[in-house]
Amino acid sequence: MVRTTPVEDPGDLFSRLPDAAPYAWVRRGEGLVAWGEAVRLDVPPGPGRFDWARDRLAEIFGEAHVDDDVTAPGSGPVAFGSFTFDPDAHGSLLVVPETILARRDGRAWLTTVGERRLDAVTPLRDPGRIRYGDGSLTAPEWQHAVARAIRRIRSGLLEKTVLARDLNAVAERAIDVRLLLARLAARYPECYTFSCAGLVGATPELLVRRTGETLESLVLAGTIARGSGQADDMARGAALFASEKNRHEHACAVASVRQALDPLCAELKIPEEPELLVLANVQHLASPVTGRLPAGTSVLDVVEAMHPTAAVGGTPTGRALDVIRDLEGMDRAGYAGPVGWIDARGDGEWGIALRCAQIRGPRARLFAGCGIMGDSDPASELAEAQAKLRVMQYALEG
């Protein structure tokens, strides 16, 4: 039994979460938060994982008795999901929460699966002092991997690859995911703040939003740190926009998205020139994409077609992934994989899991990645990765 009813404006969605492995997808105060597990699906690895997930969810949703007084995207039964970057890696999952609280376009609603439970909301817990340690590679080792990737690109093997690095953190006490969500949402309101099975972050990159037959996506590639003041900020933005390296990196990402979506969409609109997306810590080159999907196309069909984009994999995809496996020296797990939600109508929103960390008790594994081109500089790429890691460091430390 699934019941969705309108409710009064709940205010801050994160303030309503109990301390029990919360799920979230929120931007500018709107979206969904959830808790509890009515259904948990561990998605088998392999090339057919998205088809398996779509079909299995359709069975589960089809067997549910749904009483939905809202009938909006995200009402009725909803599954939150996280897929690993590598299709052959274990760890992809889908969860149908027991309780979902949502707000969108001036409306708010509550969905419960089974009997309604009232979960107590406890005060947020500070994790205390944070200690950091090297992840899979030290900073010099990662720079060396970048240099090796640059040599392969210059040899003509490929145009671009993306190398990620991780950083380990240990807190004095168990890390309260709700505190991280609140801090991220307050500092990065333009991003999609998410939580799914311990994977927590604030991604600027919308992989796909499906609302009926309408598709939306946002391509991000090309990055520069924010300036020390308004004049410096504007100068850095102009330099990013004029950078041949960053413009080429962005063009590769746009071409990747176009190639993935052309076979799916009856109409597809991509601007000829990117725009600047200014966030609290960095600026990105951004291209908003819109399209029209055939009836019956699930958001997971689009996710399958688009992942991995050139923004997180490289160009051409196959060779770029080979370089990642050879040089990166780590398992990305859910980092740079799709994360988001899907409802019983096939509507949903999915992002690329960037600016994130995997939380387990007092431990966190932080991730960041950089697009590597033939004219990249290892020291500059390391500085960019460190700037991106500061997103989750801020969330942990406040």
Residues marked active site are found at 160, 205
- What is the Cα Rg of the chain in Å? 20
Q: How far is CA 352 from CA 20, 167, 197, 261, 312, in A?
A: 24, 19, 15, 16, 8
CB 167 within 8 A of CB 134: yes
